[in-house]
Structure formats: C-alpha cells, structure tokens
Structure 1
Amino acid sequence: MDVEEVFHMTGGVGKTSYAQNSSLQKKASDMVKHITMETIQELYYEVTPKSLGIADLGCSSGPNSLSLIKDIVEAVEGTSHKIFHPLPEFRVYLNDLPTNDFNSVFKCLPDFYRDLKKDRNEGSPAIFIAGYPGSFYGRLFPNNCLHFIYSSYSLHWLSKVPPALYDEHGRSINKGNVYISESSPPSVSQAYWNQFQEDFSLFLKSRSEELVTGGRMVLILLGRIGQDHVDRGNSFFWEILSRSLAISVSQGQIEQEKLDCYDVHFYAPSTNEIEDEVRREESFELDRIEMFEIEKEVKAGESCGTAVAMTVRAIQESMLCNHFGDGIDLDSLFDNYGKMVGEEIAKEAIKPITFIVVLKKL
C-alpha cells in the first residue's frame, strides 16, 4: 500500500468528516498556543524579515489550519508595532499529501480574508496562501525560503508501514494486531522504531535546508511516557481497533487474512527518542519539549466513546476502505469501537500523551 497515494483525513464537511471531528486536535493546539505564539514572536524579533515564510505541514482539511495562520499574523502584528517595524508580507504554504481535500480549505479563504480586514483601520496585511501537496518526508521547498514551520498531529504518521513487519511472502509477523501490542513479537516494536528514526531524521534534514539560519519549528505530535510501547494511552486506542476489526471478521464482513496483514503507519515516540534523533541529526537546537494530556470534548448528547470513535474514523477511513474494500461496514465497526472505548473508560482512564517540540535551526 502506497501511503502517499491513499492516506488522507476524511474530506468535506459531513458528519464523519475530519472538519467535523477534529476538536481534539484544535484543543491541543490551543493548549500550547502560547508557546507557538512566543516562538513566532521571538523569531520575528530576531530576524525582522520583509517577507515572512511560513509552512503548515500536515494542514489537513478542517478549519484548524487557517485559524492558526490568523493567530500567527496577529502575533507578528503585535511584535512589529512594539518595535516600530513595518509589518512583513506573509507567504503561507499549506502542505499535506496529494489526496488531501485542499478544496475545502480554499473555500474558506474568502471568509478568512474578510475576518482579517475587520477592526483594521490601516488595511489588512499582505498574505499569500498556497497549497503545497507532497510528503514532508523529503524536500518540499527551495533552500532558505522559510522562517517558521508548524506541524500539528502529523509527525506520528510514518512515511509507510515498516517493511520489516512482513516476511518474504508478504505475511505480517504481527497477526491480529494493527499496531504494537502485548502479543506482538519484540521485532515489531523494533521495526516501528527503525522506521521512525529513518523518517524523523529525513524530516529534520529536509527542513534544515528549507529554513533560514535561526528559523524555528513547532511540532505537536502524539507520543508515550516511557520505554514501554504498550500503555493505556495512544497504543491502547489501536488495541481497541484491532478488537473491533476482529468482531467484523467474526461477523463475516472481512476476511481474517485481510486483518492479519493490516498494520498502521503510526508511531508514538518517547521524549528520549525525539531528543536523541535531534542530537544525532545535528541541524537543530532543541529549545523546548513538553508533554501534556488532553481530555476529549464531547458534544451534547454524545458519549465519550462515540466522540473518540468518530475522531478515529475520520483519520482511518481512507486506509480501511483501501485495504478491506467495500465489504467493510464502517458504521458497525466504529459503533463497536465506541462501545469498547466507553466500557474501558468506565474501568480506568485512557490517557493519550501529546508532545510539543520547539526547534531552532543552527
């Protein structure tokens, strides 16, 4: 399966779309918004460019990306007024894989520009926004054209499912599991770790060539607390998906063989693993790394289990449909998923961990 050709958040604005089911991601970015704004303000104060290059890597298709750009523009405006410096023009590059629903983002642009003009007597700032399809595991932009890079809830997605999960006949060594679990052989966690090292190192190297010296990156990604890959956090949500898919097998909706060779291209790194890769790659100084937890917001009349299920569905739907085909009943699958999440939360809290990482180009 070619991840770059298949993977995308569910587009549009319907009930199961990412746009309608990304409140958790928005809450995470809001919780650490002060860090993001401090970082862009420090950068602007140091560099004061006439043209400020900004990239959002993994922008997806909901409203979160343009909301961030508005916050950045306002933060830079405040700093420019304080230091009596003319406001720069903003070059904004929205990046995601080619299958992303960029159209839904572009349709929001008229409202975005209209909102910026409100309450501004001196006219709105010059902002040039473009879509940049492609994988961020490799070069995307010309040398030294960016000042600030932001990526939220994207870097835990690997460039591909680790090839080492499959034997010479294409059979998975992680049968019945979609991610690292207690029943997985030790070689499974090693395969995922090796793929993360390769991908994250390439990501850092690519961005170091595109950022100016002193440029900043703010990265928000899922992770884990300790060395154990199996915990009651992010890995546990994948365990529940494995169980839900097993029910679909028992109901004859999908074949066991199909489940046995379905693995997700996901990895939740630890703090040490992130720090080690940054040091090893040598292009960036680690300014800051912090860990935090988020509680899922629940809509009126909706259970917590259903809210989590809808979020996971918006993220995984493209991959599940591609692998299992039309035979899979996603409504039934995620109904079971939501019930299991609710049952598990009633027993003991599930605490997914998120990191914010701030890097400075050396």
Structure 2
Amino acid sequence: MDVSDVLRMNGGNGDYSYSNNSLLQRKVISMTKPIIDDALTNLYSAMNFPKTLIMADLGCSSGPNTLLVVSELVNSIDKIRLKLGNGESPEIQIYLNDLPHNDFNNIFLSVSKFQKNLASQLVANSSSSCYVSGVPGSFYTRLFLRKSLHFVYSSYSLMWLSQVPKMMNTNKGNIYMSTTSPPSVIKAYREQFQSDFLTFLKCRAEEMVSGGRMVLTILGRQSDDPCSKECCYVWDLLAASLNDMIAEGLIEEEKLDSFNIPQYTPSPKEVSNGVEKEGSFVIDCLQVTEVNWDACTDSNHSLSEEDEQGYNMGKCMRAVAEPLVLSHFGESVVEEVFKRYTNNIKISMSKEKAKLVNVTVAMTRKG
C-alpha cells in the first residue's frame, strides 16, 4: 500500500463524505480552542504586533472543518490585537496542506463564500486580510520555505503514518495493533511512529521562525499499552467484520493478512519524548482530553437513539476508512463491509460508552 496514493478522507458532499460526517472532529477542534488562543496570544505579543502572519494547517482534509479552523485562527488574532491595544490589523496567509488526493476542489469552491462570512464576523474597524492557498504533499517532507512560518496547526492528522510499518511477522486476523498481534508487529508500529514524528518535527523546525508556535492534536491514548482498548477497539470492530466475511467466503484470508491500517495512536509520554529527542521545540502545554463516540454526526430522527448512534459513528468511520478498504479489497465488497462494521459499532455502543482520546501539545520553536 502506497499511503500517499490511498490515504484520504471521502471527498465531495455525499452521504458518506467526510464533509458531512466530521462533527466529532469538529468537536475536538472546539475543545482545543483555549490552547490555540494562548499560543496565538503569546506569539502575537512576542513578535511585537507583526504586520504579516504566515500560518499552516497540516492535514486539513476538506469540508466545513477546514475553513472553520481558518476562521477561528483569523478571529483569534483579531481579538488578541484589540485586547493588546494594537490598532493595525495584520495580513494573514494561511496554507492548507494535505496529501495530493485530498479534495482540494471542495475547499476552493467554498473560499469565496468563506471570505464574505469572515468579513462579517470580524470585530468593528478590523481590516484583517486573509489569503488562503492549498499545498499538496506529505507533511513528512519539507513543504514551505525555510524560516517562513509563524504558526503551525494540525488536528487528527499526525496519527496517520507515512507508510504501513514493515513487519517481520504477519499480523494474522488483525488490521491494526491488537492484543493478539505478535510483539514484532507492535514494535514495528511504535518505531514507525517514532521515525515519522521525528521527521515531522525536523521539517517544521526548518520551516518555522524562531519563537514560532505549533499546536498539534493527535488521536492517542492515555495508557502506556499501545494495544489498549481506548485506541484499538474501533479498528478491532472493523477487523471482526472482515473476519466474518472471510468465514463466509466473501473475502480471501490472504487479503486480510496483508491489510494493516497505517496509523499509530501515541501516549502523551511518547509525544513529549519525541519533542525532547528532536530538540528544536519547547513544550508549553500537553493536555489529554476525551470525546465520546456518539459525538459524530447530525441526528437522523427516523432511527431510535441507540440505532442512530451506531449509524452515525459507522458513517464517520466510513468517511475515514473507505478509501483504504476500497483500494485493498475492491469495490464489490465495500457496501457489505461497512454494513457489518456499522452493525458491530451499534452493538458495541449499546453496551458501553466508548471514547476516543486526544493528545494536544503546544510548543515554541527555540531561538
């Protein structure tokens, strides 16, 4: 699997698009707003009220969340400017980055309307100008000019790896780290994350100005155990769906054995260790939060509350995982896979209140 070719959220505005099934991710963005505001306040005052600010959203995806982030950043700067008593509004350049197959067209079609809405949201007497550009490419490579970025933001992106870990043993019956995975598989996943995170930090260290700020929110875990239920359960349910289809002869066993999700959900300790090892940044804040699975999509009042929760979370995960499943197993089984997956999610949510764990780290580029 070439991750750069197949890893993307479902594009467009259809029933299973990321655009229409990313309310959970939107809630996480809102939860981290105080940390972002603090980072921007410190940045703006330390830069002595700059006339220009250059920012980047890495792993921006598409849909309403993308421009929500842009709007939040611009609004925050405008409010900070007034609070600190500076009359001149800065010009702001925001780069939106994701892999080349991301639905950038969806974003660009919304920019004009976004610009008009933003102008009406800004405080009185504001003359802030915001310029939006798309930057396709992996954030595990250099993307921007050296020492050009003042602020870097990323939410729910850095748990995605640059490649599927190279494993010495087959991760039989699993598609991710699991309690039944061989130790070598767990080791391969951990080392791939460590390598990728270090590369990410080195690239950003070159691109950011001295004193620049970065806020990253990563789907993670609280436990030291990389196979803990809090981070692996959502993929265990997909694996169970695929295994049932193997038992019924709908999917070949070899297909499952060669399919592994290119993701790693780190603990806060792993994140802080990575930052300290790379050495270019100082951690200002490290926070762990939780969000329930049922914070996923708008209500469907034709369903019972129990069915609705499973249906919504199923659509949320389909928007995320369908391109990976489609590229590996083929179009003929996609509908059946996600029908079973959604049912497994519904059964799980009827028995317990499952949560996702978020690790948010704010840091400053050293001088």
TM-score tier (shorter): over 0.9
Instruction: For 1:317, give the aligned amino acid.
Output: E
1:93, 1:350 → 2: CA distance? 34
Q: Is the 8 A contact 2:89 2:127 kept in 1?
A: no
Residue in 1 aligned with 2:32? Answer: 32
Residue in 2 aligned with 1:360? Answer: 364
Residue in 2 aligned with 1:304? Answer: 309
Residue in 1 aligned with 2:221? Answer: 224
Residue in 2 aligned with 1:50? Answer: 51
1:64, 1:269 → 2: CA distance? 23
Residue in 1 aligned with 2:173? Answer: 176
Which shows bigger deviation, 82-91 or 10-19?
82-91
Structure 2 unpaired stretches of 5+: none
* CA RMSD after TM alignment: 1.5
Displacement of 1:42? 1.6
Q: Is the 8 A contact 1:220 1:355 kept in 2?
A: yes
Displacement of 1:45? 1.3
The answer to whether residue 140 in structure 2 is matched with residue 137 in structure 1 is yes
Instruction: For 2:61, give the aligned amino acid.
Output: S
1:119, 1:150 → 2: CA distance? 21
Residue in 2 aligned with 1:320? Answer: 325
Residue in 2 aligned with 1:63? Answer: 64
The answer to whether residue 80 in structure 2 is matched with residue 76 in structure 1 is no
Instruction: For 2:103, give the aligned amino acid.
Output: D
Structure 1 unpaired stretches of 5+: none
Instruction: For 1:225, give the aligned amino acid.
Output: Q
1:150, 1:204 → 2: CA distance? 13
Residue in 1 aligned with 2:110? Answer: 108
Specify the SS of the correspondent of 1:248: helix
1:116, 1:321 → 2: CA distance? 37
Which shows bigger deviation, 35-44 or 246-255?
246-255
Instruction: For 1:345, give the aligned amino acid.
Output: M
1:324, 1:182 → 2: CA distance? 24
Which shows bigger deviation, 197-206 or 292-301?
292-301
TM-score by length of 1: 0.94
Instruction: For 1:96, give the aligned amino acid.
Output: D
Residue in 2 aligned with 1:273? Answer: 270
State the percentage of identical aligned residues: 40
Q: Is the 8 A contact 2:154 2:217 kept in 1?
A: yes
Q: Is the 8 A contact 2:148 2:208 kept in 1?
A: yes
Which shows bigger deviation, 225-234 or 10-19?
225-234
- Match 1:159 to one of 162, 166, 181: 162
Residue in 2 aligned with 1:20? Answer: 20
1:89, 1:324 → 2: CA distance? 47
Instruction: For 1:113, give the aligned amino acid.
Output: Q
Q: Is the 8 A contact 1:16 1:310 kept in 2?
A: yes
Displacement of 1:237? 0.5
Displacement of 1:333? 1.5
Q: Is the 8 A contact 2:89 2:126 kept in 1?
A: no
Residue in 1 aligned with 2:9? Answer: 9
Instruction: For 2:37, give the aligned amino acid.
Output: M
2:341, 2:300 → 1: CA distance? 20
TM-score by length of 2: 0.93
Displacement of 1:62? 1.2
Specify the SS of the correspondent of 1:149: strand
Residue in 2 aligned with 1:126? Answer: 129
Displacement of 1:321? 0.9
Q: How many pairs does the alignment contain? A: 355
2:121, 2:225 → 1: CA distance? 51
Displacement of 1:124? 4.6
- Match 2:94 to one of 92, 95, 104: 92
Deviations 1:262-291 (A, max 9, x none): 001000111111111111110000111111
Specify the SS of the correspondent of 1:98: coil
1:253, 1:177 → 2: CA distance? 17
